[in-house]
Amino acid sequence: MFQRFDKVVRCSQGHLYTSTWMWGGSLKALRLGNRRFQRCPVGHHWSMARLVDPATLSPQECEAAAAIHDVRVP
């Protein structure tokens, strides 16, 4: 079974949000190496998303990312 984690991601336009990031698979995005092509819930557009290390973000950025989650997978 895949492990499922909620992670902070940044889209190619710079928007931060939380996404369910499953290692080894994806049900809602096209995987391209360590990036995913998926819908950004902040800008309402399709773009490349990549993981962001929360330690590199300000507390305000972490709060903003936690407030918005993309489509959840059951």
pLDDT of residue 2: 46
> pTM of the predicted model, to two decimals?
0.82
Sequence spans of domains, the chain: 4-67
Closest CA to 7 of 40, 46, 54: 54
Cα(57)–Cα(4) distance, integer angstroms:
22
pLDDT digits (tens, 9 = 90+) for 9-56: 999 999 999 998 877 666 677 777 788 999 999 999 999 999 999 999
Provide the residue type at 48 as one letter. Answer: M
pLDDT one-digit tens code per residue, 2-18: 445 889 999 999 999 99
Question: What span, in angstroms and rounded, lies between the C-alpha atoms of 66 and 2?
Answer: 23
